[in-house]
A and B are shown apart, each in its own frame.
Chain A
């Protein structure tokens, strides 16, 4: 099996990411564990995803790179705060695990899942999509270069098919 969370972790290490803001998602479980176990990274669990936009801004003001991990539902919580990212041209890397798209089993996830890309794009965030496990690492690598090379706000959407959760029972069992 393609170990995409381990490869994502490698991308973050390569990019010298020091602060990792997150609201947990089952799809990010492994990556969160890897980041929490790394003494060179500061894992910052958030009460709500929008806090991570402020965290990333503050980190950059102080000379550190950060990443935000969240589920697609959390993107909606970030929208107004992303105005600051855009106006100040803060570099930003968001790794978003998708719900509400391929094979969703919870109807309440579908509206925000379907609105994730247009909502991000409306706020000036560049959206890049990893449709398969094989695409996750190269997409994230390119997104990291875009974020810090060009001071851009970039979100990598990781397809629900990659996460592969098919039911509530499946999710609870992870």
Chain B
């Protein structure tokens, strides 16, 4: 099969009515996708620490069990943190969902193939690690409609591996200052007590 979905449309659809949704974006293209959908204090885009996005999501989900946490990351970033799927499968936070935007490429470094281009099934790994049985590879609009519902509402943890076109598209950059990204996120989540802590 070949991908037909477009990453910016997919991420925009995930975030169009985001409300109180907490978002962690993996470094590179997925951080740009999340910014293109609209910069928000409730998004924490990573500019480094490749492989850490899912674990940042886990720590956040455990700390805020009443809020939905969505990690949006790339296939290369998720591959670097594969062990974290086992860690998440053991913890089973019901409020954590992971959307892997899978273009089968390392997009920031010259579009080299990742392991998913050779068929590595991240959704299968997720299911084997104890994430939700609905975790799936998504190719079509119809499959994405179901995946979107699962990512935003179904009891987690769940991972959707969404196959997208390997496009080169304009960068939309979030703020780079890590201290700022942290402080504004905490204020948005915790209110004034964020600064008292």
Cross-chain contact A81 with B49 (CB below 8 angstroms) = yes
A contact residues around B185 at 8 Å (CB): 61
The answer to whether A48 touches B197, judged by C-beta atoms less than 8 angstroms apart, is no
In the complex the two chains form, is A51's CB within 8 Å of B87's CB? yes
Q: Is the CB of B84 within 8 A of A51?
A: yes
In the assembled complex, the Cα of A90 lies from the Cα of B179 at a distance in Å of 8
Q: Size of chain B's interface in residues, with CB distance under 8 A?
A: 40
**CB-based nearest A residue for B91:** A44
Is A59 within 8 A of B62, CB to CB?
yes
B87 in contact with A46 (CB, 8 Å): yes
How far does the alpha carbon of A18 sit from the alpha carbon of B22 in the complex, in Å?
Answer: 20
Question: What residues of chain B lie closer than 8 Å to A19, measured between beta carbons?
Answer: 59, 62-63
Whether, in the assembled complex, B155 has its beta carbon less than 8 Å from a beta carbon of chain A, the answer is: no
Taking a contact as CB atoms under 8 Å apart, the answer to whether B62 and A54 are in contact is no
Determine the chain A residues whose CB is within 8 A of the CB of B179 once the complex forms.
87-89
- Decide if B83 touches A51 in the complex (CB within 8 Å): yes
Question: Contacting B60 at CB < 8 Å: which of A46, A58, A148?
Answer: A58
Q: Which residue of A lies closest to B63 (CB)?
A: A62
Q: Are A44 and B87 neighbours in the complex by a CB distance under 8 Å?
A: yes
Interface: B57 (CB within 8 A)? yes
B51 contacts across to A, CB distance below 8 A: 50, 54, 81
> At the interface, yes or no: B53 with Cβ under 8 Å from chain A?
yes
Knowing A61-B182, A83-B48, say if A51 contacts B81 (CB, 8 Å). Answer: yes
B87 touches A84 (CB 8 A): no
Task: Please name the residue on chain A nearest to B56 by beta carbon.
Answer: A58
The contact sample of 10 A-B pairs, CB cut-off 8 A, is A48-B83, A51-B81, A54-B59, A54-B81, A55-B56, A58-B62, A61-B60, A63-B190, A64-B59, A88-B178
Interfacial residues, chain A to chain B (CB-CB below 8 A): 18-19, 42, 44-48, 50-64, 66, 80-81, 83-84, 87-90, 148
Q: Which residues of B contact A (CB under 8 A)?
A: 22, 24, 44, 46-64, 81, 83-84, 86-87, 90-91, 178-179, 181-182, 185-186, 189-190, 193-194, 197
Q: Given contacts A46-B87, A54-B49, could you give 20 more A-B pairs where the C-beta distance is less than 8 Å? A: A42-B62, A44-B62, A48-B83, A54-B51, A54-B53, A54-B54, A54-B56, A57-B49, A57-B56, A58-B56, A59-B60, A61-B60, A61-B182, A61-B185, A61-B186, A81-B49, A87-B179, A88-B179, A89-B178, A89-B179
